[in-house]
Every structure is written in C-alpha cells, then in structure tokens.
C-alpha cells in the first residue's frame, strides 16, 4: 500500500510512467529488508562491526592503597577485582553495532565508593582508540586521549 502510494506521488511529481517506477522501488524495498535482517544477525551474533576494545584501569592512589573495581554493562557483570597500587586491571569487549555500549565501574578504596563511566561508545570511540587507559587518583580519574594527546580528567 505504501509502496503504491509513494510510487504514485513520485510519478505525479516527475510526470513519469508508473510502470517504469515499480521495478526500482521494489528493489529498494528488498534492499532495505535485507539490510535490516543483516543488521539484526550482526548485532545478535556480535559479528565484526566495531573492533574489540580494551579498557585499562590503573591504580595511582598512593603506596599501600588498594583499589577495588567492579565494572558492569547492561549485559555483563565483570565482578570485583582488587588492584594494588601501581597495578592495572583490564577488560575487553566488542561494542554493539548500534554504538550504544556503555560500561560503568564502582571504584572503592579506604571504604568509600566512587563511580566512573568507564566507557560510553559515542563519547569515547574516537578519543580512546585503540585502547582506553584510565588512571585513578584520589580526587580524579584521567583518561588518555589519543585524539589530542593529553589526559582528560574528571572528578570522582
Ligand atoms: C587486595 O590485595 C592486597 C594485596 O594482596 C591485600 O592485602 C588486600 O587485603 C586485598 N583487598 C581486598 C579487599 O581483597
């Protein structure tokens, strides 16, 4: 029904013969159907689209201060990891095809919980390629920005 209506409007607008427009519109319709099913298969199977990302979280809190890291996404809970001073915890994942992947982490030391948005695809895909390197200080978390080589720091 929609195809016919669009077809009619286009043929009116360009004064074209309706019959000549049917074939191209059918092809576009089939192409869109194939594209939608292809994207669905890709996202469910997590087949290649975005490259695998590694996120590093380094404890730079000071001698003798242990950092407990607990990262999660909508689908994954990566568990609690104890990182000693100078140590580096890392995890990896493949961003979904829709580019909506997010990981957030609870960071605890000296009995106080802090919060870090460790990876937000739209925010970080450019600046933290190929890997995301976070350094945790007592008052801030800094992400190495590969785009404009520098540290992007945020209070935590
Ligand atoms: C973390 O590891 C250090 C060194 O092995 C240990 O002394 C500390 O008790 C651990 N902390 C937690 C919460 O497991």
Q: Do residues 97 and 134 share a domain?
A: yes
Report the distance separating Cα 107 and Cα 82, nearest Å: 10
Q: What CATH number does residue 122 fall under?
A: 2.60.40
Together in a domain, 61 and 110: yes
Query: What does the pLDDT average to over 107-127?
Result: 95
Could you tell me if 32 and 71 lie in one domain?
no
Does ligand 1 come within 6 angstroms of the Cβ of 82?
Answer: yes
Looking at the structure, tell me whether residues 27 and 63 fall in a common domain: no
- Which two tokens mark 102? 């997010």
Q: How many domains does the chain have?
A: 2
| pLDDT exceeds 90 at position 133 | yes
Give the confidence band of 129 by pLDDT, cuts at 50, 70, 90. Answer: confident
Measured CA to CA, the distance from residue 118 to residue 73 in angstroms comes to 10
Nearest CA to ligand 1 atom 10: 82
What residues make up the domain containing 144? Answer: 53-155
In whole angstroms, give the CA distance from residue 141 to residue 108. Answer: 13
- The finding on whether 84 has its CB within 6 A of some atom of ligand 1 is yes
pLDDT value at residue 3 = 45
* Centroid of chain to Cα 9: 40
Protein residue closest via CA to atom 12 of ligand 1: 82
CA 51 to chain centre: 10
Residues 109 and 38 placed together within one structural domain of the fold = no
């Amino acid at each position: 029904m929609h195809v016919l209506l669009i077809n009619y409007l286009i043929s009116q607008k360009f004064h074209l013969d309706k019959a000549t427009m049917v074939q191209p519109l059918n092809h576009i319709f089939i192409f869109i159907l194939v594209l939608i099913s292809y994207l669905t298969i890709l996202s469910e199977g997590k087949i290649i689209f975005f490259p695998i990302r590694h996120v590093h979280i380094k404890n730079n809190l000071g001698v003798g201060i242990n950092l407990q890291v607990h990262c999660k996404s909508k689908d994954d809970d990566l568990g609690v990891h104890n990182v000693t001073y100078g140590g580096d915890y890392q995890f990896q994942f493949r961003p979904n095809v829709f580019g909506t992947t997010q990981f957030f982490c609870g960071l605890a030391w000296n009995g106080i919980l802090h919060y870090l948005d460790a990876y937000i695809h739209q925010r970080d895909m450019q600046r933290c390629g190929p890997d995301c390197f976070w350094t945790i200080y007592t008052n801030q978390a800094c992400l190495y920005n590969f785009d404009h080589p520098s540290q992007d720091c945020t209070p935590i």
